[in-house]
Amino acid sequence: MIKIEADTLEELYEKSSKELACSVVDLDIDIIQQPSSFIGLFKKKAIAIVGIKEGATIDKRYIEEDVKETVEKKEIIKPIKKNKAPKINKKDSNSPEAKTEKYALKNGVKKNEDDTNDTIEEIYYSIKKLIDETPFDIDIIEIKMVEKKVIYIKLDGDDSSLLIGKDAYRYKAFSYMLYTWIHTRYDFLIKLEISNFLANQEKNITTYLDGIAEKINEDGAGTTKPFDGVFMHIAVSYLRDLFPNKNVAILSNKNGDKYIKVHRDR
């Protein structure tokens, strides 16, 4: 186990993956401090205790030479054993393997059909394995390509609200983890939906941006509040559709928070 610090959760997962030389899906992360700041003061970093899940192997694609030497010489990586809560035995038709097979058949995902289907199937199996390692009662409802280079992932279950967490902190952490892994391995972006959380957030964001759009139409320019992760993707896409002839740029303030500025015509 090692302690990792970073300015954001996304950077924390990336740094952990590099430090421990493995995919983010193989990380065992206990986040002990969320990143935060108050009006630019008292900024706190994201802090986590990180290890590697039992059975994981070192992936050379994630190792730089200096990291590889550290891993090999210091042998800081040790598998972590978890005391899992006992699971209720289910009928074979409801087992994870059966659900996986049903999903593949229902969505027409066949091995060796094409690269995209192979990728979606591999992502499905990996996420299923990851979810099975958590205490959450969550199922994969759907995984599909919705845009070029954008994967839509929908999860739902009795513990959806727990996976989202207060102020969406678990949703953001889980989304960052999936994004870091999928973008690094497959060069795809993701849209993670848990229950109807993302759809509701999208409505709230577009309602807020409609107010900003009115100001832009009056003054010719405007800026938004900070966004992060998939929320930034939703916001910038919406504004670029509204103002195709203006410059819609993602900028950072002095605290490193990202916001959108819409200004002069192209």
- DSSP, residue by residue, 55-115: T----GGG--HHHHHHHHHH----EE---PPPPPP--GGGSHHHHHHHHHHHTT--TTS-H
Same domain, 154 and 210: no
Same domain, 95 and 163: yes
Q: CB-based contacts of 154: which residues, under 8 Å, 6+ apart?
A: 140, 141, 142, 143, 193, 194
> Per-residue pLDDT for 95 more than 60?
no
Task: Specify which of 37-51, 61-75, 236-250 reaches the highest per-range mean pLDDT.
Answer: 236-250
> Per-residue pLDDT for 247 more than 80?
yes
Question: Once rounded to an integer, what is the mean pLDDT over residues 64-86?
Answer: 44
Say which residue, 39 or 211, is predicted with more confidence. 211
Same domain, 167 and 147: yes
> Per-residue pLDDT for 43 more than 70?
no
Which range, of 99-108, 135-144, 202-211, 232-241, averages the lowest pLDDT? Answer: 99-108
Say which residue, 261 or 110, is predicted with more confidence. 261
Summary mean pLDDT of the chain? 79
Domain boundary among 194, 215, 233: 194
Domain boundary among 152, 173, 194: 194
Reported confidence tier of residue 47, pLDDT bands at 50, 70, 90: confident
Say which residue, 6 or 223, is predicted with more confidence. 223
Same domain, 72 and 162: no
pLDDT, residue 48, reads 87
Same domain, 221 and 165: no
Which range, of 53-62, 194-203, 204-213, averages the lowest pLDDT? Answer: 53-62
Say which residue, 168 or 65, is predicted with more confidence. 168
Calculate what percentage of the chain has a pLDDT beyond 70: 74
Question: Once rounded to an integer, what is the mean pLDDT over residues 49-56?
Answer: 80
How far is it, in rounded angstroms, from Cα 103 to Cα 139? Answer: 11
Say which residue, 65 or 246, is predicted with more confidence. 246
pTM of the full structure: 0.57
> Per-residue pLDDT for 170 more than 80?
yes
Domains identified in the chain, total number = 3
pLDDT, residue 204, reads 95
> Per-residue pLDDT for 113 more than 80?
no
Domain boundary among 194, 228, 252: 194
Question: Once rounded to an integer, what is the mean pLDDT over residues 17-28?
Answer: 81
Same domain, 177 and 97: yes
CATH number for the domain spanning 130: value is 3.30.300.20
pLDDT, residue 42, reads 45
Question: Once rounded to an integer, what is the mean pLDDT over residues 96-116?
Answer: 52
CB atoms within 10 A of CB 249: 12
Say which residue, 29 or 74, is predicted with more confidence. 29
Range of the domain at 253: 198-265
Q: CB-based contacts of 118: which residues, under 8 Å, 6+ apart?
A: 111, 112
CATH number for the domain spanning 229: value is 3.30.1370.180
CB 95 within 8 Å of CB 103: no
